[in-house]
Structures are given as C-alpha cells and as structure tokens.
Structure 1
Amino acid sequence: MLSNVDNVAIERYLAETGITEDHIQVKKRNSLMEKLHSIVREFIKDVARHKFLRRDDFECQLMPFGSYGLGGYLTGADMDLVLLAAKGIERRDFYTEFRKLLKRLTEDIEVIKRTAVPIIKCTIDTIPVDISFVSFSLSSVPKNINLLNDTLLYGLDKECLASMDGPRTQQFLLDNIQPNHLATFQSTLQCIKHWATCRKIYGKPMGYLNGSTWTFLLMKTYMSIPLRSGIQMNTYSLLSMFFEMWASWPWPEPVKLSSHIPGLQGAILDFEDIEDFRHSVMPIVSPCYPVCSSTPFATASTLRVMTLEFKRAQTIMKFNEYLDINHLLTRLFMELNFFAQYLHFLRIEVTSETVKSNETWQRKMATAIPKLVGLLEVNPSITFIHPYTQTYTESRSYSTVQGKLAIQEGYSDYIENYVSSLQPGKLHITTHIIGLQVLAPTQGKEVDVSHEVQEFLQELEAKRNDRDADVTFRITSAKRYCLFTMK
C-alpha cells in the first residue's frame, strides 16, 4: 500500500488525464454563472413590471447544486441550478419570461414540464445547464437562506417540493463536511465517479448508482471516521476507506447519514414503515425530508456486480508494488472489458421510425431493464446476470417495405429486392446488452429464457401509448463473437 500520497499528486493526475477540468474551463463556468445571475436580476424587474408588483428590489437566488454545486464534478458535467423565487413570481413566469431572457445566451433551450422536477434545459457556451424552479411565500430570498428549515416546505406544490430535494441535500452534505476536508472530499468524489464510469456501474435507472448516491456512500464513509482518530485525511486514505467499507457492507442493512430518518418538523420515521424500502436489496436513504430510496432500481444482480467492483478496487488500493500513485490510478480506472467476461448474452433491440421515439424509449428502456433482470434472477439455470450500462444506437436506411421488415426482424445481411415498389425510409435502432453466466447444459438441453422474455415483452407493450405505433421490440440470445462490432 502506498504511503505519503498527498492530494496534489492525485489532483494533478486527474487534471492531466482530462478527468477534471483545467482552470480555463473552470473560468468559463464561473463566467456563465455571472451571466445567469445578471439575467435573474433582469427577470425580477421584468416580472415586477408585467405583474404590477409594488416593488422590484426583492431578491431571488440562482443556486448551483448537485456535483457542480458540491465541487465534485467531472469534465463536461451538467450544471444543475435552481432558481429560488420570492412571492409573486410563479412557475409560468419562469417558463415564459425567464426563457425569453435565456434566449440572449442561447437558442438551444427546451422546457421540460412533464416530469417530477420540471426544468429549463439549455446549452450555453457548450456547457449543458438544467435549471429547476421553486417559488417560496417569502417577500425576498436571502443569499444565506437555510434550506434545511422545514417551514420553507409549507405550501409548496409537489413540483417545488421535488425541486427542493437536491438543494436541501447539498446543504446537508456541506454542513457535515469540515471546511478543511472539503477539497479532499471533492477530489475523492471525482475519483469515485470516474472509476464507476470506467467500470460501467454508473447509472441509476439500470440498477446501479448515480452521482448523488455515490456521494451518499462517500459521505457515510467520511462520517464513519472519528474526528480524533489520528487517521490522515487525504484523498488516498479516504478513497481506500471507501472501497474497504463498501466491499464488506452487510446488505440489506440500510445506509443512513444520520442517527434517525427525518420526518417533517423534527419527526422521526421508522425505516420499516417506509414503503420505498419494503423490498430493497440495497437500501440507501436520502438524508432530507421527504426521504426516499436512492436505489429504486437496484437488483440482487446489480448489487453483486457492484460488490465485485468494490472488492477489485479494494485489492488495488492495498497492493504495495505500484511505483507511484499514477500507476495505481491507471489500474483502478481501467475500462471494463465487458464482452470478454461472458460467453452468453441477451440482446434487447428497440427499433423506431423517428428520432423522438428512439430518444423516448432509450429513457424508458433504462428503467425497464431491471424488470427483465428480476425475471431472469428466478431462472435456476442462470448463475450471474450483468446488465451493461452502455447502449448502441444506429440508423439504417431501407428502400422497400420488405427491407424495413428485415431490419426490424434482425436480418442485417438482407439484400432488398427492388422489384417491389419503392417506399424508402430510415429506422433507428438502440441495442441493450445483458451478460449471462449459465449452468452447463445437461442432456443436450439449452437454457430456456423464453418465459421470462415473453413476460418482459408484455411489460413493454403495456408501456406503449398512442405515440409509439412506430416502435418495435426484439430480444434474442447472442454469443460473444456476434457482438464484436459493438466493442
């Protein structure tokens, strides 16, 4: 195990390999925040004038949260921001007036309303920005507002309440990290996120963890270290303790970041009474009211995959023959060679005629895959199931109806017969992959997953709506050599 590894060496590695942004990119983000703050000030005056408010000298706050707000973000990360508005400014003002002002900075703007946390999504100076909105009953929103004050939640509609979760969580985390440890926490989180991405276990909908959940696990590790333990608090030591803790965590023991689960106004909730955790294999409790499961899609299989990755990382951190920290981190961040690990795979293909349907079903399939994994877990012939977070999307043109059907049915080598009438078009195909380990076949019998596949296809059909007439599904088994083109 390496010793005397200071933070500078790790931060230099992260910067030189492009994992974290250089000072020019950081300056670009800071400049963007200044422009957005200026827009907020103008937004207040515009709304006050249009709605004949008595004053326009009240404050609203544009607050960063998530990985950017916490300072643990990677190169190219989104900027998650929330506009905390004072009384008199409504969500429709945000969708209309604020959007108009944003158009001065970019034309790439999309208002996404039909979601738990409605946002204005835009890209400014190549930086992706998601802005959510909360309207308080306060006459003015001060810069030092305490978002953990539960009285702020009274009277909020469900969209505002959901939009408060990220900012409240960030304040909880920052309140529990000692200021002199913040830089260490940030660089450790950056290491963990990059490691999880390289090892293909980053993705909440697929049954793994997203940025906030990885942050919760790191926070639990940090909080488990006694302040006067004498342990040197640097990135290397915290990263080592992180992998050691989660390689041996006794799931399904819940992960909580406080001694009790908070209800409203100081009430204490019983873990056993919370519906979200009733059947959870990997319960991780969000730290602020209203609490929820941070791993709603985790399965026994994805937990097993993550545990193996924790153990691999733990072994690397303990290995004492690395020349320096650069060699260790290069080994730790080695890309997962997924296709080399399995002989058997399931290939799930979603084919659509429009780009919009393709994008919609990419999101739907990500949360549907854990259902298929759960069905496969009860098959006694399957010993290991590994859903792959990477998907593959391609567009293929056809000239005839027969050519279209051939693509939908998986005949990649089909040669079209142009005797039939020409009806050209294009299909968009997204492929999801699941790796399988199976018991050796006995008496010539193959592993049969037809029942599980049919049940899953029925689930997908139930998710259809009137706009999905162009979407088709296809699930087939595949051997490794069939997937070479996807590597």
Structure 2
Amino acid sequence: MGIPGLSNQNNGQQRLGITEPISLAGPTEDDVIKTRELEKYLQGVGLYESQEEAVGREEVLGRLDQIVKIWVKNISRAKGFNEQLVHEANAKIFTFGSYRLGVHGPGADIDTLCVGPRHASRDEDFFGELQKMLSEMQEVTELHPVPDAHVPVMKFKFNGVSVDLLYARLALWVIPDDLDISQESILQNVDEQTVLSLNGCRVTDQVLRLVPNIQTFRTTLRCMRFWAKRRGVYSNVAGFLGGINLALLVARICQLYPNALPNMLVSRFFRVYTQWRWPNPVMLCAIEEGSLGLSVWDPRRNPKDRYHLMPIITPAYPCMNSTYNVTSSTLRVMSDEFRRGSEICEAMEASKADWDTLFEPYPFFESYKNYLQIDITAENADDLRQWKGWVESRLRQLTLKIERHTYGMLQCHPHPGEFSDNSRPFHHCYFMGLQRKQGVPVNEGEQFDIRLTVEEFKHSVNAYTLWKPGMNIHVSHVKRRNIPNYIFPGGVRPTFPSKVTAENKQSSKSRVPGHGQAEKPQGGKTVVVGADDVRKRKRSEDIMDNNPRNSKSPVSLAPPSREVNEDISPISASSSCSMKFDESEVNSIGGQKSEKPCLNSPGEIPSGDSGTNGSVTNNQQVNPVLAAADTSNSKEEEKLAIEKIMSGPYDAHQAFPEEPEELEDDTQYKNQDKDSGGNMKNNMESLLSKPAVAEEPVISKEITCSTHLFSNEILEELEPAELSAPLLSGPPAPLPMKKPLIRLNFTSLGKAADKSA
C-alpha cells in the first residue's frame, strides 16, 4: 500500500497531491535572499523557543511517558494480572499539533496522546487512577480534567509546561513500543472517543508525509500562523482558522509549488486562496472510504456536509472537514484578508512593501462603529474556566442567529480573543463588530430588531448542563468611542488620527500605517487593539473631509466593507439617540513605522521527522534549470491552473443557502447542552452573504437606540423587552418597554443628508 495522495509522474519522480503542481519552478537568487529575511524576521519577533525551553519540553515528555508506563502496570496488577502480564503491560505517549509539526512557539501547549491497552479504561483508570497520580505529584499544577467533553482531555502544567493529554484505548492487550498508529487497523474495535483522540496524531503525521519539503513547510506555516494571529483570523472555535486548518492550507500550497521557498509559498498562499471558489474543498489526498465503515466527509451522501462553507479536509482516515465552524461572516472576513495579503505580496515583489506591512495588526476596534460586548462572570476560577469554555463554543451561534434573523443584512465580525476587567473578579468579555451588509439598496424605514435574537442566544447558553450559581452572561451594545479602556495596554486608550492624506499614503511606500497595538490578555492570546480620541478625531475629520480623495495607495489596509467612520454625536443617558454616518468612507489610521526586530540567533526546533532540517537557505541551492523551467507562468496561467485544480470530484458541491440550525458543537462541549424544547429554533431563514464587492454605493445609516448609564460608561443593552417584535420590520409601535433595545434603522441618503443639515 502506498501513501494516499502519492503518485508517479512520467519522469519517475513522485508527485504529492491529487493534481499536478501549478509550477515546478525552483528558487531564484532573490527568493533565497527574501526567504532568509523572512526567517530572520520570524526569529526577531520571538516565534522560536530557546534551547533551554526545547530541552525542558523533551524532559517533560520523557517524564510523562515514564508515568503512564508505571500507571498501566499499577492498574494491571490491581486487576489481578499475573506478574508476566504486568511486566509486559505498556502505554505510550505520542505528540501532535504544533509541537509535532515543529512550529510551536515559546510557552505553547504540548498536545499529547496516551495510548493504552484494552483493559485500561478511560473513566475508571485514565480519569481515575492516572488523574490521582498526577494530582499527587509536586511537578503537576493546574490539573483540570474534562471527562465529559466530546474528546475527553486532561489539562495540566508539568514543570510549568502546559500539556493537553488525550487517551486512546486500543483493542490490544499489550501496546508494542514500535506501535504505528497511522495504520487503519489501529481503529478496529475501538469507541468513537478513541477514534477522535487518535485523529490528531494520524492527521499530523499524514501531513508531514504529504509535503515535498518538511522544513520549507514548517517555515511557511510558522509565517502563516503569525499572520493569522496578527490579523485576527486565528481561532477555530470562533469560526476562523485554527492550527490544523492552516497546516492543511499551507501543505496544499507546498504540493502545488514543490520546489519553491517560503518567500514564494507565502505569496502563492494568498494568490491561490483569493481565487479559490469556496465551498470547493481543499484536500491533500483523495478521500479513502476505508474498510471499517466509519463516516467520511461526503456532501453527496451526508446532508450535514452540504452546509459546510469552507471545507478543508483532513488527510487521514476517516477524512473529516476541519472547518465546520466557519460561518458566512467569518468566511467574508477571511476572504477579505486573503485579498489584502495578495495585494501586499504583489507590492512586496515591486519593493513597495515589506514583511511589516503583511503582519500589521488588524485594527479591530477601529474598524466598526458598533459592537456587541458579551460579558461573562462566575463565582470562582474553576467555574469561570468551565463557563468560559462553554460560552466560547456557543458564540458562533450568536453570529449565525443574527444573520439568520436579519436575512443576512446585519453582518457580524467576532473578535477571536477575550479580555478581562481586573476590577471585576472572575470576569471575561468578548466583542463582535456589527455592520450592515454592503452593496444592498437601503429601504426607507428598514429596521433591525435583534432583541429576541439575543434572548434566544442567552437561553441556549444558559442551557448548560454544568451550570452553577454565579455563572452569568450579559450582552450589550457599545459604540466605538465607548469601548472600555481595560482592553487597551495598560488601560490607556491610545490616540491615532483617523485619516491621512493621499500624499502621506504615497510617501509611506504603500506600507499600511500602524492602526493598533498587540496586547496579550489573560489566557495568553494575542489580540489586536486600536483606539480613538473623540475630540481629536472630530477635528481631524472636519479638516480631512474637505480634502479631495483622488489618490489611492497601492496597498490597502483592509477592504472598505469592514471599515466605517466614527460617529461623534453625543449620547445622553436614558434617552433615545440617532447616529448617522457614511459607509462609503474608509478610515485610514496613521501611525509610526515600527523598527525592524533585532535579529536573534535561531532557536532549535525539535524534530523526529526524516526530512530536511535546519535553515532552508542553508540547504536549498538555486537550481537554474528548475528556476528557468517555469518562470514564464503568468498570473493568468496560474488562474487557469487553479480553476483546473478545483474541477475535482466535488466540483458540483455548493453549500446550501440555508445552514442547519446548529453547526457541530465544539468538540469539548458537544454533549453539554440541556434540552430546551427547541421551540425557539424552528423555521429560521438564512441568507449567506458573499464577500462584498470592491465598489459599493454610498449608504447612510441611522441607528436608533435607548441608553442607560452604568458606572460612568454608556452601554446600550440588547436585552429584549417583554413584548413580541418582528425580526425585520418597520418602526415598532410605541409600546411601553421595560428594557432597552438596539434597533438599526436605515434611511435613504437624501433624507439622512437633510437631517444632518
């Protein structure tokens, strides 16, 4: 049996992937230079761990392997096995995820899998005896077992190193030391939880087998992970891209350009996925049916698979879609980011941009006028950790419900990180940008009322089976200028001018100005923040609005569909308010160019792979034959090649215009939703919007809302009043209301202009 996705070319060389490569061109001298610059950049921003930390991780893994071997012998003896069987009893530790791929950074978790024999049960032995052993060890801290998760996991720190430990119970009496978990036979006679637990290791190993050059793949993937975090699109649970999703996307580009260096692969990553026609799936190899009858991704036979908007298929049996969480909102955001990356890479080829431009943090808190703020609290740290995990797994449902109940007219952009107010104990909050769908004619008096939508979301969240007193959730509407200060570094709101002249844009060599600063809140997640000062912004906008807008920077910060101008109308407490702004205007936030990072010596990357190691540029020589073989490929030829690639077995697959009421739950919380009757979830219409076009009409927006004053901050609540309201209708009847609401009222441009005058 060969490796799936591996075939022979006419010249006898092996080809990786399900299609021919787009280009066999090798690196030019310029590619080698720019790849070396990229490697130094990644080292300079601290993406490589130190030698001491690498050694510490290896020691932890070795110690953990010893512990599980002692554990399995103890339980074998306790179950009455004779000494011969106790002596032969064995368990084994495997790694997967970013550590196994060799792209982990300082402080990253180690994803591990314990493989045990058939007589070592999950509930009684793994979450019983092994958990007890770990809890009694001085090296182990923050032990947090999650046995009821869809994929049961034990989380803890071992000598300060974070570890996620899964368990796979095989149908073997003895686990051999040379066990190969990539074989399909390993899945025989095991339960679903074991199949899911084994999946991470099997997928990771298969990815490394299906890329032409492991070290080139690693450098490119490390780059794309950094880009995704800086641009706010790194979070599987929020509906964006997680580590395995990015690994599969990068691996496919490596297959399509097998002789390219990371510099070219980064550029082609954006070029290919900008042109990709979703929901055509990305696959590293053909989907194998297998002999065990396990369900694999197939939209022709599985109705649930037909709703997936951005399928990225895992290469190991049973093949699954790794991006089932993606919604129309998050796909729109990611499509915009792919487009932006492609434009910047083209500017870099013309020496009009640099790596700083590509990795510019996304100014989330400068990009929208209105946000939803979701606050959660609990009684203690353990309750908050459980409550946080559950709420995070449900947040994408709020996005789905808002778009469904407003027929796709109100779009959401979830922020992938969380924030904490240190003045409030056991508190986290999340943000979601709101904007009206671009390019759609505005109907007179059109209004969105999402009170019932928010109430329905809160109802589903509060259906948590492990809910405890003190677990609360609060959803409110907050305007950009009223974003709480604690989300900014040091609790201080930075100030940036909202616009720069076209001349300043040109003089910056098309480099995207600095729009925000990176902050690392609790939980270690990198987030992007921006800021505004109302008085300075007003003065700046009054001046700049009189300037002609007849020049455009070759590299745009972000598509216009996600940036709006700040409204500066005052809001008085406990009174209704109206706000108008012109959505055709795009903020261009100025900033100082950051200095290039210092070039530190490269960190060591642990590797257990039989692939190329060390610096790419030290091992990869320029091959003039390969370099000249395909340099005539134009962008048009590449476009045709990409079209051909997408003409595969699933070319006819198109996602249904309606999503299922519930996408697949987060793997750790799939079974923890109480039965709430389902009467609030029937007959919901959905209209999945596509990415907005570049040219969009000028739209005036008016938002009517009621406000209350809380602790010197103006928050406009979304909690529904005790009355029935249409989901999308004209202005509601003047009925008395006990709670404030948010209504989005869209009027014609002419009428808005008259009012503003």
TM-score tier (shorter): 0.7 to 0.9
Larger Rg: 2
The answer for the alignment partner of 2:427 in structure 1 is 429
- 1:157-209 CA deviation, whole Å, 9 max, x = no partner? 2222221111111221122124xx11111121111111111111111111112
8 A contact 1:21–1:74 mirrored in 2: yes
Amino acid at match of 2:307: H
Tell me, in whole angstroms, the C-alpha distance in 2 between the residues paired with 1:87 and 1:457: 42
The answer for the alignment partner of 1:422 in structure 2 is none
Indicate yes or no: 2:404 matched with 1:387.
no
Amino acid at match of 1:186: R
Indicate yes or no: 2:90 matched with 1:73.
no
Deviation at 1:290, TM superposition (A): 2.9
Amino acid at match of 1:350: I
**262 and 8 in structure 1: CA distance in 2 versus 1, 3 angstrom threshold:** farther
The answer for the alignment partner of 1:371 in structure 2 is 397
Deviation at 1:347, TM superposition (A): 1.9
Partner SS, residue 115 of structure 2: strand
The answer for the alignment partner of 1:112 in structure 2 is 146
Tell me, in whole angstroms, the C-alpha distance in 1 between the residues paired with 2:118 and 2:429: 47
Tell me, in whole angstroms, the C-alpha distance in 1 between the residues paired with 2:443 and 2:328: 26
**473 and 59 in structure 1: CA distance in 2 versus 1, 3 angstrom threshold:** closer
Tell me, in whole angstroms, the C-alpha distance in 1 between the residues paired with 2:471 and 2:140: 33
Higher mean alpha-carbon deviation, 436-445 vs 37-46, is at: 436-445
8 A contact 2:402–2:410 mirrored in 1: no
Instruction: Select which of 332, 340, 343 maps to 1:315.
Output: 343
Instruction: Select which of 316, 331, 355 maps to 1:329.
Output: 355
Amino acid at match of 2:117: A
8 A contact 1:438–1:447 mirrored in 2: no
Tell me, in whole angstroms, the C-alpha distance in 2 between the residues paired with 1:275 and 1:20: 43
Tell me, in whole angstroms, the C-alpha distance in 1 between the residues paired with 2:156 and 2:466: 28
Tell me, in whole angstroms, the C-alpha distance in 1 between the residues paired with 2:54 and 2:168: 27
**Which of the pair has the greater relative contact order for Cα pairs under 8 Å at 6+ separation?**
2
Amino acid at match of 1:68: Y
Instruction: Select which of 175, 183, 187 maps to 1:149.
Output: 183
Question: Cα RMSD (Å) of the superposition?
Answer: 3.0
Partner SS, residue 393 of structure 1: coil
Tell me, in whole angstroms, the C-alpha distance in 2 between the residues paired with 1:274 and 1:208: 23
Amino acid at match of 1:197: K
Deviation at 1:445, TM superposition (A): 7.0
Unaligned runs of 5+ in 1: 398-426
Deviation at 1:41, TM superposition (A): 3.9
Higher mean alpha-carbon deviation, 4-13 vs 166-175, is at: 4-13
Indicate yes or no: 2:454 matched with 1:450.
no
Indicate yes or no: 2:180 matched with 1:138.
no
The answer for the alignment partner of 1:358 in structure 2 is 384
Tell me, in whole angstroms, the C-alpha distance in 1 between the residues paired with 2:250 and 2:96: 17
| TM-score normalised per structure 2 | 0.55
Partner SS, residue 370 of structure 1: helix
Deviation at 1:435, TM superposition (A): 0.8
Amino acid at match of 2:262: T
8 A contact 1:61–1:84 mirrored in 2: yes
Tell me, in whole angstroms, the C-alpha distance in 2 between the residues paired with 1:93 and 1:460: 32
The answer for the alignment partner of 1:410 in structure 2 is none
1:121-132 aligned at under 5 Å gives the runs: 121-132=155-166
Tell me, in whole angstroms, the C-alpha distance in 2 between the residues paired with 1:163 and 1:381: 36
8 A contact 1:20–1:75 mirrored in 2: yes
The answer for the alignment partner of 1:477 in structure 2 is 477
**360 and 38 in structure 1: CA distance in 2 versus 1, 3 angstrom threshold:** closer
1:210-225 aligned at under 5 Å gives the runs: 210-225=242-257
The answer for the alignment partner of 1:414 in structure 2 is none
Instruction: Select which of 267, 285, 288 maps to 1:240.
Output: 267
Amino acid at match of 2:475: I
Per residue, is there more helix in 1 or in 2?
Answer: 1
Amino acid at match of 2:163: V
The answer for the alignment partner of 1:402 in structure 2 is none
Deviation at 1:302, TM superposition (A): 0.3
8 A contact 2:98–2:243 mirrored in 1: yes
- 1:82-101 CA deviation, whole Å, 9 max, x = no partner? 11223443333333444455
Partner SS, residue 33 of structure 2: coil
Tell me, in whole angstroms, the C-alpha distance in 1 between the residues paired with 2:301 and 2:272: 27
Higher mean alpha-carbon deviation, 382-391 vs 75-84, is at: 382-391
Deviation at 1:396, TM superposition (A): 4.8
**111 and 458 in structure 1: CA distance in 2 versus 1, 3 angstrom threshold:** closer
**381 and 104 in structure 1: CA distance in 2 versus 1, 3 angstrom threshold:** closer
Instruction: Select which of 368, 381, 388 maps to 1:342.
Output: 368
Deviation at 1:18, TM superposition (A): 0.9
Indicate yes or no: 2:250 matched with 1:250.
no
Partner SS, residue 354 of structure 2: helix
Deviation at 1:261, TM superposition (A): 4.6
Instruction: Select which of 302, 313, 320 maps to 1:292.
Output: 320
Deviation at 1:40, TM superposition (A): 3.7
- 1:89-141 CA deviation, whole Å, 9 max, x = no partner? 33333334444554253244233211122222211222101111222233443
Instruction: Select which of 131, 135, 160 maps to 2:194.
Output: 160
Amino acid at match of 1:473: I
Partner SS, residue 81 of structure 1: strand
| TM-score normalised per structure 1 | 0.83
Deviation at 1:322, TM superposition (A): 7.7
**94 and 361 in structure 1: CA distance in 2 versus 1, 3 angstrom threshold:** closer
- 1:368-427 CA deviation, whole Å, 9 max, x = no partner? 222221222242684542111122223556xxxxxxxxxxxxxxxxxxxxxxxxxxxxx6
Higher mean alpha-carbon deviation, 452-461 vs 333-342, is at: 452-461
8 A contact 1:148–1:168 mirrored in 2: yes
Indicate yes or no: 2:207 matched with 1:173.
yes
Deviation at 1:58, TM superposition (A): 5.1
8 A contact 1:297–1:367 mirrored in 2: no
Higher mean alpha-carbon deviation, 28-37 vs 337-346, is at: 28-37
Amino acid at match of 1:241: R
Partner SS, residue 392 of structure 1: coil
Deviation at 1:339, TM superposition (A): 1.1
Amino acid at match of 2:472: T
Equivalent residues, number: 448
8 A contact 2:210–2:284 mirrored in 1: no
Tell me, in whole angstroms, the C-alpha distance in 1 between the residues paired with 2:379 and 2:293: 52
**279 and 340 in structure 1: CA distance in 2 versus 1, 3 angstrom threshold:** same
1:56-95 aligned at under 5 Å gives the runs: 56-57=87-88, 59-91=90-122, 92-95=124-127
- 1:245-276 CA deviation, whole Å, 9 max, x = no partner? 11221011122222235344599874321244
**8 and 350 in structure 1: CA distance in 2 versus 1, 3 angstrom threshold:** same
Tell me, in whole angstroms, the C-alpha distance in 2 between the residues paired with 1:396 and 1:429: 9
- 1:61-94 CA deviation, whole Å, 9 max, x = no partner? 2111111112122221110111122344333333
Instruction: Select which of 229, 240, 246 maps to 1:197.
Output: 229
Partner SS, residue 94 of structure 2: strand
Partner SS, residue 140 of structure 2: coil
**237 and 465 in structure 1: CA distance in 2 versus 1, 3 angstrom threshold:** same
8 A contact 1:262–1:269 mirrored in 2: no
Partner SS, residue 478 of structure 1: strand
Amino acid at match of 1:458: H
**15 and 437 in structure 1: CA distance in 2 versus 1, 3 angstrom threshold:** same
- 1:283-333 CA deviation, whole Å, 9 max, x = no partner? 222223333331222111100001111111122222237879xx7332222
Partner SS, residue 114 of structure 2: strand
